[in-house]
Structure 1
Amino acid sequence: MKTEFTPAQLADPAIAEADKILRACVHCGFCTATCPTYVLLGDELDSPRGRIYLIKEMLEKDAPPTAEVVKHIDRCLSCLACMTTCPSGVNYMHLVDMARARIEAQYQRPLPDRALRAALAWLMPKPHLFRLGMVIGRWVRPLLQLVPTPRPKGGTPALLSRIKAMLALAPRQLPPPGPALGSVFPAIGPKRGRVALLHGCAQQVLAPRINGAAINLLTRHGIEVVLVAEEQCCGALIHHLGRDEETLRYARANITAWMKEADRGGLDAIVVTTSGCGTVIKDYGYLLRDDPAFAAPAAKISAMAKDISEYIGGLELQVAGTRGDLVIAYHAACSLQHGQKITQLPKELLSKSGFVVKDVPESHLCCGSAGTYNFLQPEIAGKLRDRKVANLASVKPDMIAAGNIGCMVQIASGTSVPVVHTIELLDWATGGPRPGVE
């Protein structure tokens, strides 16, 4: 793609990086076939190629984002299926992140939109506040269902429809909190390694059993697990809201905490059970590449970050018994298959552990969760969920497995089939409790 940035513009490292990404695009359009919003809406501007044109024009003109640009960038899920499909290696992830940051800095959203985004950025990274919000939401939900939902205007969902979508995903009963930060879980038997396990934000409120299963499996196989006391939110949720400075503050705090823990007791890896978080942590090195104080440690932390399936793939799992009669539909979270390029390993681990694993039609398409997307774009997210649930149902599973809490909650809202984390099944296969049973 030809670009027309001035020498003065290219002196800005961010614009120089955007120019490099834009020039890699050859207009082939392969990305349109795998883009969920284009598949649903059929609008070129709701495809990666169309959004690339919008971003290019916005950056070249150095103009504030227009409402039209914002609408189509907001509709992007950041599922990154386009990056898997692209034959030219266009780094769409970094380009759309740059566009979101510019929108956040230069575009004046309507007040209700700003308020909702600010509330999400404030609540969701803080488990105690998020838990409180879920408790309140459980009481408010029946009242809001009595209020008619207005139709969206100008492509932007109404605030009430967004709030209803958020509350619809709130569980009827929250589980007790999981282990606190600062906890250490010794290896059972001879110690083979030591890892930091990402505590998480929303997952700790909605499903602390996931990290519990990871801790049980890891310690059972000789791995000491630590929940680092000074750890904070990974920054993924607010990063996708365009709040770059807040994201970098979280990243620096986590890098400092994990490096300190590595120096104190040694760490083989930083293990992550939420693939959306893992994709961003693995990108810390890029995000802080121009920070003299953090560039090197950020790159080191990114290299240490491992999805739970990656780390377990290096262990010899001690499978107890067989479960060949249980059919598992494996949902490939976008952040895992497209963001981290981990595709076969989770399925191989499940198969080797005795489960019958079924591939799902259209497995490349997003379920509609995408961080806060199902709150901010509930109509599109709902259509994607229904499509995903229908594809999952087509293989007649006994359980659905996924590697990301957002996907799990989204899919569970549309099916009665138990939706569990891959690590829960692997924990069960190696001596833990059966998941999906309350």
Structure 2
Amino acid sequence: MRTQINVKYLDHPDIQEADSILRSCVHCGFCTATCPTYQELGDERDGPRGRIYLIKQLLETGDITEKSQTHLDRCLTCRSCETTCPSGVKYGRLAEIGRGIMEEQLERPFKQKLARWLIRKVLPYSSRFGPLLRLGQIGRPLLPAALKAKVPEKQSAGSWPAPHHARRMLVLGGCAQPSATPNTNAAAARVLDKLGISLLVAPKAGCCGAVSYHLSAHEEGLDFMRRNIDAWWPHIEAGVEAIVISASGCGSMVKEYGEKLSQDSEYAAKAQRVSELAKDLGEVLIKEDLGQLQLQAKGLKTAVHCPCSLQHAQQLGGQVEQILQQAGIELTRTKDGHLCCGSAGTYSILQPELSQTLLTNKLEALTIDNPEQIVTANVGCQLHLGSKSPVPVKHWIELLDS
């Protein structure tokens, strides 16, 4: 694809990278076949190729319209297109750059600005999100059915083993997960403890930065990343083997810390080291002898939902299924596994109608073989699926915690 970048953007720090990505696209259209929003809406501008053209138009003309903004907002950034693309176009990165420029240049309506600001000021902070969630859970029985479904029932975490093994790993606590699904990391700690690994939490680490960064508040997102690096660094110097991340959306971001902070002279080297240590929980367990867990029950018929962040961003599709099958858990058939459930970080809040359509489609695809439960690898997907699922939805690590 030929480009002629507008002079007003030539000094932008990311413009050369954006130009390179644009030029790598051969506009073949393979990506449209696997794009959830294009499949649903049938509009070229609601597919990757169309959105690439919209970003190209922005960078060449210097202009962006509200209509173009709407099409870019509808993108899930699921990155299914990247898995499909024969040319290796880094669409997700191009979308980040394009949306960032768009956000600086085009004023949003007040309601949109307020919604995005509230999300950024509440969701990434456990001390703010947790109490609000608890209030919702207390009043849950009195809520209307539609709102009640969006408030997860209170979950007990259970015990967390004291660290006593020579092998030690860090775990990312995250922002929503400690309040909404606290059993996920606790179950991971118990499972790893049986495998001879102690899982440690750095109390000052929190949100991975994805919420702010994906809402185009890039500097704010980078500050979250720096805080996590500072919190983890003493443990890294003490020799932890890995930074384990049980939420695949967060894992995708932490693995990109090195890239995101590459121009920060103070943090670049540390960020790269953090990215090297970052491992999805499945990456850790697949290398261990799961026979040590001595699982007694084979469990219920289980459907696996592989989050977009796991299969497309981290390219780890099929790993969870392999682990569960090795553990003797019966997996049911599903279809359209490459398609997003509609959670996509804050997408389910900002694009509720389309998100609900994708959720309905995903649940139909996951339940074709009548599973008794659904498991996934990301807290956002877990809560989103659970809001409408006819069967319980869990994190897959809970099946190994017996």
TM-score range, shorter chain: over 0.9
Match of 1:151 in 2: none
Deviation at residue 229 of structure 1 after TM alignment: 2.3
Query: 2: distance between equivalents of 1:270 and 1:86?
Result: 30
- Name the SS for the 2:331 alignment partner: strand
Kindly state the Cα deviation for residue 5 of structure 1 after the two structures are TM-superposed: 1.9
Maintained 8 Å contact 1:234/1:250: yes
Partner of 1:335: 309
Q: Give 1:220's match in structure 2, choosing from 185, 194, 202.
A: 194
Gaps of 5+ in 2: none
Distance 1:115 1:7 in 2: 32
Partner residue of 2:286?
313
Q: Deviations over 1:247-302 (max 9, x none)?
A: 00011111122122211x32100000000000000011111111111111111111
Aligned partners of 1:390, 1:311: CA distance in 2, in Å? 31
Equivalent residues in 2 for 1:234-253, closer than 5 Å: 234-253=208-227
Q: Does 2:147 match 1:174?
A: no
Structure 1 match to 2:3: 3
Secondary structure of the structure 2 residue equivalent to 1:358: coil
Could you tell me which runs of 5 or more consecutive residues in structure 1 were left unpaired when the two chains were aligned.
Answer: 147-163, 433-438
Whole-angstrom distance in 1 between the partners of 2:201 and 2:158: 11
State the one-letter code of the partner of 2:208: C
Deviation at 1:230, TM superposition (A): 2.0
Cα distance, 1:116–1:140 mapped onto 2, change above 3 Å: farther
* 2:352 is equivalent to residue 391 of structure 1: no
Q: In the alignment, is residue 376 of structure 1 matched against residue 343 of structure 2?
A: no
Instruction: Report the counterpart of residue 48 of structure 1 in structure 2.
Output: 48
Once residues 112 and 10 of structure 1 are traced to their aligned partners in structure 2, the CA distance between those partners, rounded to angstroms, is 32
Determine if contact 1:324/1:356 at 8 Å carries over to the other structure: yes
- SS where residue 306 of structure 1 aligns? strand
Q: Distance in 2 between matches of 1:321 and 1:268?
A: 26
CA-CA distance at 1:177 after TM superposition: 7.2
Distance 1:142 1:48 in 2: 42
Shift of 1:320: 1.9
Tell me which residue corresponds to 1:118: 117
Alignment of 1:283-302 (within 5 A): 283-302=256-275
- Give me the whole-angstrom Cα distance separating, in 1, the residues matched to 2:59 and 2:354: 27
> Corresponding residue for 1:362?
336
Q: Distance in 2 between matches of 1:270 and 1:219?
A: 15
Task: Please give the root-mean-square deviation of Cα atoms over the aligned residues, in Å.
Answer: 2.2
Q: Distance in 1 between matches of 2:265 and 2:24?
A: 28
Post-superposition Cα deviations, 1:336-357, rounded to whole Å, max 9, x if no partner, equal 0001000122111100101112
> Are the counterparts in 1 of residues 161 and 190 from structure 2 also a CA contact under 8 Å?
no
Q: Select which of 202, 214, 220 maps to 2:176.
A: 202
Specify the code of the residue in structure 1 equivalent to 2:113: R
CA drift of 1:10 comes to 4.2
- Three-state SS of the structure 2 residue aligned to 1:262 is helix
Mean CA deviation greater in 17-26 or 324-333? 324-333
**Counterpart code for 1:185:** A
Q: Does 1:131 align with 2:130?
A: yes
Partner of 1:278: 251
Cα separation, partners in 2 of 1:177 and 1:419, compared to 1, 3 Å: closer
Question: Are 2:90 and 1:91 equivalent residues in the alignment?
Answer: yes
Contact kept, 8 Å, 1:177 with 1:205, in 2: the verdict is no
Question: Which deviates the most, 202-211 or 312-321?
Answer: 312-321
CA contact (8 A) 1:284 1:299 kept: yes
Q: Is the 8 A contact 1:322 1:354 kept in 2?
A: no
Deviations 1:34-56 (A, max 9, x none): 10000100000000000000011
Letter matched to residue 371 of structure 2: P
Name the counterpart of 1:350.
324
- Aligned partner of residue 233 in structure 2, secondary structure: helix
Instruction: Give the aligned partner of residue 231 of structure 1.
Output: 205
Alpha-carbon shift at residue 61 of structure 1 (Å): 2.0
Q: Which residue of 2 aligns with 1:436?
A: none
The CA distance in 1 between the partners of 2:265 and 2:127, in whole Å, is 34
Equivalent pair of 1:199/1:227 in contact (CA under 8 Å): yes
Q: Does the aligned pair in 2 maintain the 1:237–1:371 contact within 8 Å?
A: yes
Letter of the 1:87 counterpart: P
- Displacement of 1:31: 0.5
Instruction: Report the number of matched residues.
Output: 401
SS at match of 1:54: helix
| Shift in CA distance, 90/127, structure 1 to aligned 2, threshold 3 Å | same
In 1, Cα distance between equivalents of 2:34 and 2:221: 28
> 1:257 is matched with which residue?
231
Shift of 1:175: 3.2
8 Å contact kept, 1:125–1:233: yes
Read off the aligned partner of 1:313 and give its amino acid letter.
I
Shift of 1:132: 2.4
Q: Structure 1's 423 and 177: CA in aligned 2 closer, same or farther, altered over 3 A?
A: closer
